Amino acid sequence: MKRILIVTGQSGSGKSSALQVLEDLGYYCIDNLPLALLPEIVEKLDHENNLEQLALGVDVRSTKEDLQGFDHVFQLLQKHGEVDVIYLTTQDQELIARFSASRRPHPLSSRFQSLNECIQEEKQLLLPIQLRATVHIDTTDKSVHDLKDTLLSKLGQSDKLILILQSFGYKHGIPLDADFVFDVRHLPNPHWDLELRKYSGLDLPVQKFLQESEQTQEMFDDIYHLLDKWLPAFAEGHRHYITVSIGCTGGQHRSVYIVDQLKKALESKWTIQVLHREMKHWS
């Protein structure tokens, strides 16, 4: 067996949808098995079937003891192939809204009075698996189609590292699936120029404004040199993707500009995907 994916995360964050996507991609998927049984089942499948891609859904319904012993299970699975852990997460308020809309009970609802208590306890129970995660995906604003695109990007379709450059606005929340987050709110803000406010960091008037700032150029240079130096090390460590998130206040001007400049500077060396998370909010 060449590749084993363990898919887990907070209830309501899209685990079932992720498994459906992986099934469409050719993975043999098994959901909701006790953690302690996974090594035995994977060994049996490895001996009796010619499977190259296996995806295993795990959730908080496993016993607390099994969840705490995840490291041992992980090590046993590594005997059968490359193991990646996909951890899906969603902001608390969005999870509460999803459960309210679906009217489905949380798996821990029999133990706690409020949905918020269930969510906080689940985070603690899943922490041993989260710490092993190699792929983090924040599904707060993602449709099923967005989730599929993200899985394709983060799992990688080859051995080449994919660099995901993402702009965002701090007022809409920090991305939960970023490997690196850089804050550029200290740079000159085009928002306060009424002529520039309607543009984005992709437009020439804003780019000219920011290019005149020595501080902006220094910030770009520092981020670029850090990535240029360390991305090869991540690639040698067989990482499939790195997500670099650049944040300003609203996610329209400064962060977008820095992402665009990084793309131009690095695209000759790396496969790059760009996401401007707040584009729907741009004026």
Nearest-angstrom CA–CA distance, 165 and 167: 7
| Residue 116: other Cβ atoms inside 10 A | 14
Q: Judge whether 245 and 183 are in contact, CB under 8 Å.
A: no
Binding-site annotation: residue ranges for ATP: 9-16
Binding-site annotation: residue ranges for GTP: 59-62
Of 190, 252, 195, 242, the closest CA to residue 216 belongs to 190
Q: Residues of 211-249 as b/e, b for ≥16 C-beta within 10 angstroms?
A: eeeeebeebbeebeeebeeebeebbeeebbbbbbbbbbb
* Residues forming beta bridges with residue 6, ordered by sequence position: 56, 85
Binding-site annotation: residue ranges: 9-16, 59-62
Tokens 């501080």 belong to residue: 215
